[in-house]
Amino acid sequence: MTVQLQSLPWLRQSPANFRELCREFDLAGHANGKVLRDISNYALDGNGLHRLAKSVVLAKERSGTNAIEHLQPFSLGLLSNGTTKLIVPCLISTALRYAINLTVVEGEFDQVVQEAITPSSTIKRAKPDAILLALDYRGIPGLHAGFVEEEGKAVNEALAYVEMICRGLRQETDATIIVQNIPCPQLAMFGSLDARLAGSQRRRIARFNEALNGLLSEFSGILFDVDGLASTVGHENWFVPQQWHLAKLPFSQIYNPIYADYCVRLIGAIRGASRKCLVLDLDNTLWGGVIGDDGLAGITLGQGSPEGEAYLTVQQVAKNLRDRGIILAVCSKNDDSVARSVFREHPDMLLREEDISVFQANWKDKASNLEAIASTLNIGLNAIVFLDDNPAEREQVRQALPEVAVPELPEDPSAYPAYLLAAGYFESVSFTDDDRRRASQYRANAERAELAQSFRDINEYLASLEMTIKFAPFDANGRARIAQLTNKSNQFNLTTRRYDETAIANWEQNRDAFTLQVRLTDRFGDNGIISVIICSRNNGDWIIDTWLMSCRVLNRRVEEAVLDVLVENARSARVGRLIGHYIPTDRNGLVKDHYFKLGFQPQESVSNTEVWALEISGYSRKAPPLRVELNGGLQ
């Protein structure tokens, strides 16, 4: 079965009363982002996205501050040598599905270089969170011609052009730079020989795209794989010469919804909105048939039949996702022992019990079991994707738990993997060793929770974990993970300030800054980097710019060990006070008493920021039951 990406088939079809829903919102007189998000969670075409964007504009006008409650703000600068007016409303409406209030600032048409190198340009004055460089091959030196004599010179010219733009943007902005790669038009001058003939347009664009990856690393940039998207829908469909000649539209406008979705996935990943847990139904999802009725020999699974191989492929995709760090869980209406018997005994079963971090097989409703899974793993419901063949079960979960992503599925199980992966739930902008180990880390967390039940005294339990906490200043090895944590951590994050890798590198080199990356290991394994601290000197004080921690290690007294190290190094640097800031958001209420519990004293608040102070001279070490390792010259 072919997946028609332009129709966003993993989403429910747009309801017949969609426009009425928009009108009801417009007349309601509020700016509730949850309502907008719910309206956006359908497979909307370009017209629907444009209509919804009008409601977003109205909501911003009502708020008076450009903010929309329950949505995370994000501003995107857009630079292109093509027309982008029609894509902007699609981006704004699509962002709602990711709980993002997106503001788009467009540069002047075909003024990319001028916008990049002029200090007072429209884009630079806006100070966006990210800038999307959306270039069409027809405006890039070295790539437009059908054939050239000197291929290397032409490719270098194209790369130099993009580098000049990126360097210009970096001079006055810390925005994350997102750069599209280049789809190649299907205009083969030499037929099949184009693929290997030096100087052909196909070869030059392929070489440019490959080299672009290295160039982006220099600027901590992010790749937007538009070439991959165009390949999926077909390059011959992607390019519409009439639309280019008429209005400089770089690709067919029927693909605006999927282009917008691909783009906003990246923004969501930058802000930590990617999902990290795949919850699997069992009967007719991982195998054909009902294990409770058909028995082990009666279900369909494995080689030898098209249907059995299709279910095997579903399991293989799930296993591949686990191997890249996605947590797997089971949520099934079944007897627990019967459901587990397939994992333990069926010879063709690819997934095994050890691959599953939480196994919920019982007769409760699936929404309740999903809540239990989230609680056991200590993750938000917005981190979960639920794969279930049953339309009624899917709808029940959507109604009860709108934060959970529930993809639509066709009747043919061979298409389940395509629908799941095409939806982009697990989009990444970086991939670290900690990401790769995430699934095993969460399974170990479940084992820790089981161990905790055998102890009545919390300190005895913590001592039994045999924890080692390792401190080091920021460095190049940890940079990607540190940047990732600043962008994705929302609950245990005192200020929720966001930094990309370039900004983290600047903190590394700042002599007036003190930084910590904190790792935690215990008898169950390595938790990876679990906390990040950034302090800046202000006269005789250290201002705590950033203090965040992974919720996976809550209630292990890690923050006390962090404060011990902070204070010791502050003493060594002749710092008199630590000044902590708490900026409340709708997601970080977990840490509203963080500084109070650690002994800080409240100061006069500044704007929406609570200010707390700790006198270094009066501090006594807390010495929680963790073995401490200090690296990089720390005290």
Q: Residue 74: phi, psi to the nearest 5? A: -155, 130
If asked whether residues 539 and 613 sit together in one domain, one would say yes
What single letter denotes the amino acid at residue 537?
R
If asked whether residues 470 and 609 sit together in one domain, one would say yes
Using CA atoms, how far apart are residues 161 and 52, in angstroms rounded to an integer?
37
User: Look-up: residue for tokens 């964007």?
Assistant: 53
Using CA atoms, how far apart are residues 186 and 209, in angstroms rounded to an integer?
16
Say how many domains are in the chain: 4
- Confidence (pLDDT) at 357: 93
Of 359, 392, 422, which residue sits at a domain end? Answer: 422
Q: Residue 250: phi, psi to the nearest 5? A: -75, -20
- Confidence (pLDDT) at 63: 84
Q: What is the pTM of this model?
A: 0.85
- Confidence (pLDDT) at 1: 57
The CA-based angle 167-143-136, given to 5 degrees, is 70
If asked whether residues 144 and 230 sit together in one domain, one would say yes
- Confidence (pLDDT) at 2: 64
Q: Using an 8 Å Cβ cutoff, are 407 and 42 in contact? A: no
pLDDT digits (tens, 9 = 90+) for 241-289: 999 999 999 999 999 999 999 999 999 999 888 999 999 999 999 999 9
Q: Using an 8 Å Cβ cutoff, are 510 and 540 in contact? A: no
- In a domain? residue 501: yes
If asked whether residues 256 and 294 sit together in one domain, one would say no
Q: Using an 8 Å Cβ cutoff, are 422 and 513 in contact? A: no
Using CA atoms, how far apart are residues 84 and 109, in angstroms rounded to an integer?
8
If asked whether residues 208 and 59 sit together in one domain, one would say no
Using CA atoms, how far apart are residues 452 and 463, in angstroms rounded to an integer?
11
- In a domain? residue 455: no
Using CA atoms, how far apart are residues 69 and 1, in angstroms rounded to an integer?
40
- Confidence (pLDDT) at 351: 97
Using CA atoms, how far apart are residues 287 and 273, in angstroms rounded to an integer?
30
Of 55, 70, 85, which residue sits at a domain end? Answer: 70
Packing angle, helices 33-40 and 18-28, rounded to 10: 170
Q: Give 200's contacts (C-beta < 8 A, 6+ positions apart).
A: 146, 147, 189, 190, 193, 194
If asked whether residues 84 and 154 sit together in one domain, one would say yes
What kind and span of H or E run contains 469?
strand 468-472
- In a domain? residue 438: no
- In a domain? residue 429: no
**What's 577's domain CATH number?**
3.40.630.30
Using CA atoms, how far apart are residues 86 and 256, in angstroms rounded to an integer?
8
- How are strands ordered across the β-sheet holding 176-180? 100-106, 72-80, 130-134, 176-180, 222-224
Rg of the chain on CA atoms, in Å: 26
Average pLDDT of each block of 10 consecutive residues along the chain (635 residues)?
Answer: 83 96 92 94 97 96 89 96 96 97 94 95 95 96 93 97 96 93 90 92 96 93 96 94 95 97 96 93 97 93 94 98 95 96 96 95 96 91 97 96 96 96 94 83 79 81 93 94 91 93 93 96 91 96 97 90 97 97 91 96 93 96 94 90
Q: For residue 391, how many other CB atoms are within 10 A of its CB?
A: 11
- In a domain? residue 427: no
- In a domain? residue 412: yes
The CA-based angle 409-415-416, given to 5 degrees, is 50
Q: Using an 8 Å Cβ cutoff, are 140 and 158 in contact? A: yes
Q: Using an 8 Å Cβ cutoff, are 386 and 379 in contact? A: no
Strand partners, 548: 493, 532
Of 23, 46, 70, which residue sits at a domain end? Answer: 70
Length of the chain equals: 635
If asked whether residues 258 and 135 sit together in one domain, one would say yes
If asked whether residues 196 and 82 sit together in one domain, one would say yes
- Domain extent, residue 479, equals 461-630
**What's 187's domain CATH number?**
3.40.50.1110
Using CA atoms, how far apart are residues 199 and 348, in angstroms rounded to an integer?
50
Q: Residue 263: phi, psi to the nearest 5? A: -65, -45
- In a domain? residue 5: no
Q: Using an 8 Å Cβ cutoff, are 112 and 135 in contact? A: yes
Q: For residue 553, how many other CB atoms are within 10 A of its CB?
A: 23
Break the chain down into helix, strand, coil percent, rounded to 5: 45, 20, 35
Please give the span between the terminal C-alpha atoms of the chain, in angstroms, as a whole number.
61
Using CA atoms, how far apart are residues 112 and 603, in angstroms rounded to an integer?
47
Using CA atoms, how far apart are residues 202 and 191, in angstroms rounded to an integer?
11
- HSE on the CB side for 581, CA within 13 Å? 19
- In a domain? residue 453: no
Using CA atoms, how far apart are residues 504 and 475, in angstroms rounded to an integer?
9
